[in-house]
Structure 1
């Protein structure tokens, strides 16, 4: 079984850093992510953008690393934002409701449909009446 690989590039501009990751983020590589994001804070970086375009896989250990770094960055008065999350990570972020912490904004909500007179209501309706089954 091949060992997952993760490549990390960091580019700084004053108090802002762009971290570009490529490869897989899982139990064997998440420490690299944690260390690099922690080093940004130790170096005085307060705005961290993480480009995940070339990440092929990221599991919940990667998500935890990003959430911990986001919290530490916020405590230091900064922000951490993920960009171009791979589908599996985007799904985990949506399921856990952590988009506001990692993307800086809420996912778009569908706009409510206006009610028009005479149109059927799409709101709350009466629950169907339960009829007990009879055994034969």
Structure 2
């Protein structure tokens, strides 16, 4: 099975760049996001926006890549925002408490999706 990730870079002004992320953000593709973000930051970007509306699947490696990008932007005094976050990815970000670190706007207007229900044992 082949997985693919397409990144489209849109410079918005001198230090503000948007990267449109489309496809699967998984073990075999997550380094591509890290590398592109590093290239943008090395080029002077301090405000990075990842448009996640095209992400069809994200595993723990993809989540790790997003956190790494956040760390890269913070290291230069910058910031990271995620836009167009689909519900499934939003749940993953909330479970990992990433939504407390990174500015996130969700694809739906209803705000963040609820976290998955947890089983509770009765006494």
Coarse TM-score class (shorter-chain normalised): 0.7 to 0.9
Alignment partners' CA distance in 2, 1:76 and 1:100: 20
CA contact 1:59–1:89 (8 Å) conserved in 2: no
| Off by >6 Å, runs of 4+ in structure 1 | none
Aligned residues: 107
Alignment partners' CA distance in 1, 2:60 and 2:83: 17
Gap runs ≥5 in structure 2: 106-110, 113-122
Give how far 1:85 is off: 1.6
CA contact 1:48–1:79 (8 Å) conserved in 2: yes
Alignment partners' CA distance in 2, 1:61 and 1:37: 15
Gap runs ≥5 in structure 1: 109-129, 131-136
Alignment partners' CA distance in 2, 1:74 and 1:31: 19
Give the match for residue 5 of structure 1: 4
Q: Secondary structure at the match of 1:84?
A: strand
Q: Secondary structure at the match of 2:3?
A: coil
CA contact 1:48–1:80 (8 Å) conserved in 2: yes
Alignment partners' CA distance in 2, 1:78 and 1:10: 18
Q: 1:104 to 1:54 in 2, by over 3 A?
A: closer
Give the match for residue 65 of structure 1: 65
Q: Secondary structure at the match of 2:56?
A: strand
Give the match for residue 55 of structure 1: 55
1:66-81 aligned at under 5 Å gives the runs 66-81=66-81
